[in-house]
Amino acid sequence: MSKSYHHFINGQVVQGKSGRHSDIFNPSLGEVSGNVALASTEELNSAVAAAKAALPEWSGMNPQRRARVLFNFKSLVEANADELALILSEEHGKVLADSHGDIQRGLDVIEFACGIPHLVKGEYTQGAGPGIDVYSMRQPIGVAAGITPFNFPAMIPMWMFGVAIATGCTFILKPSEKDPGVPLRLAELMMEAGAPAGVLNVVNGDKEAVDAIINHEDIRAVSFVGSSDIAHYVYQGCAAQGKRVQAMGGAKNHGIILPDADMAQAVQDITGAAYGSAGERCMALSTVVAVGDRTGDRFIEAMSAELGKLNVGISTDPSADYGPVVTAAHKQRIKDYIQMGVDEGAELVVDGRDFALQGYENGFYVGPTLFDRVKPTMRSYQDEIFGPVLQVLREDTFEGALELPSKHQYGNGVAIFTRSGGAAREFAQRVNVGMVGINVPIPVPVAYHSFGGWKRSAFGDANQHGMEGVRFYTQTKTVTQRWPDGETQGAGFNIPVME
């Protein structure tokens, strides 16, 4: 059954009026399953107007009441999790278990945001000067916007709007046009939870909507997750407009295997981290650095055997380890990178390009692919492939292995596998990457810490969620007060000194 998606503005579904649409696919079948309206600048402007109108009531509401709305929202998402996961899997292609994980990781941030009464408490100093007290308060920055990617259509929107709404901001969400079903459903559930109309709006669109967000003077803060080139574009555009901006980009996450690592456990961990969700994760562990040729030989032998056990299937198959990639164009892009690796001289150990699922030959499937003896000079190593492709490099020393992720253009995540506490501690301290795992293959922080990479993986100086998120969506106001005691004092012409 074909679906038609539009926008959610001021508490209701609003039909798209631009006349432009984009196809939505079911990646498992390789067929068009619906379409989504692409917003004009005028439609984006109407969503901003709704958010601006809702701001005084919502920001003026005490934080306990905002927290209650988020508690209700959390309960509603949990009650509708099966429906949401099915929509997500059918539009994205990830298997149902992974879709449930996508939703749960978003809910973790909603749970954190439910503690907003504590999180926005200010500071107070009594007697900072003679009869003078000083206190600070955190106030919402205003109307905020989020631009989210296709690979986590539940988690990343909740990362953004959960904290923003909790702090008292109102929000415009521009999700990926590839899988808009879940973001729209989340907006409906937020209304059902008790949020006033206009607090959360969803506008589907492409570059026109992105540019309208960047240029709208009433949008005070913008959060983005996507490719590095677009992240840089959004960052530059927002900064030029004087907006607060956090823009998360691409990744090339390394897994360093030292000779003393538990190889069986490392292989199990890396299999899931490299091939889960068909590698379409910004935290996918897509590159292994084996320290020593013996370590590399052991890893390749064990991983080659493991890949023979992987079950690639349709997104609703409960026995599938991973499903298709999101579009036919992305499938071709991955295959082109595999060929690039071959042309550059890397050793193709397992080739997934010709994988076809019986009965679903039109689906966007890529089989698990493994390269060995990749070199740092190869473009296939330098770029983010974003598919079920694992590349193995070999280094003779710890220092050489440390240097690879430290010098790479991306600095999102890295992991080290070792039994040596000293080596792990030194690696974590010295590596030039934003998130580090020690015997943890996907080091995504828990919701009350914050998520963010370094270098071309992130533009701006604020991370997602945690207290970084609270600070991003709020601004500090400091009040210095003195109450007159009836005695008039003379004018002071110097800078006040609190003595």
List, by residue number, the catalytic residues: 282
Q: For residue 333, give the nearest of 391, 386, 280, 282 by alpha carbon.
A: 386
Q: Is 183 exposed, middle or buried (0-12, 13-18, 19+ CB in 10 A)?
A: buried
Indicate the helix (H) or strand (E) that contains 438: strand 435-438
Q: For residue 230, give the nearest of 213, 210, 216 by alpha carbon.
A: 210
Q: Report which DSSP code applies to 152.
A: -
Q: Which amino acid does the sequence have at 126?
A: Q
* Rounded distance between C-alpha atoms, residue 336 and residue 328, angstroms: 12
What are the backbone dihedrals phi and psi of residue 320, each rounded to the nearest 5 degrees, phi first? -75, 140
Contacts of 435 (CB under 8 A, 6+ apart): 283, 412, 413, 414, 443, 444, 445, 451, 452, 453
**Alpha-carbon dihedral 24, 26, 32, 33, rounded to 10 degrees:** -80
What would the two tokens of residue 340 be?
């690039």
Task: Give the number of C-alpha atoms closer than 13 A to the C-alpha of residue 172, restricted to the C-beta side.
Answer: 31
Q: Which amino acid does the sequence have at 421?
A: G
Block residue for tokens 């020393």:
397
Q: How many helices (H) and strands (E) does the chain have?
A: 16, 23
* Rounded distance between C-alpha atoms, residue 262 and residue 264, angstroms: 6
* Rounded distance between C-alpha atoms, residue 376 and residue 276, angstroms: 24
Contact 91, 189 (CB under 8 A): no
Indicate the helix (H) or strand (E) that contains 107: helix 96-113
Contact 348, 355 (CB under 8 A): no
The region that residue 111 occupies, defined by phi over 0 for left and psi between -120 and 50 for alpha, beta otherwise, is: alpha
Q: Which amino acid does the sequence have at 98?
A: D
Task: Give the number of C-alpha atoms closer than 13 A to the C-alpha of residue 165, restricted to the C-beta side.
Answer: 37
* Rg of the chain (C-alpha set): 25
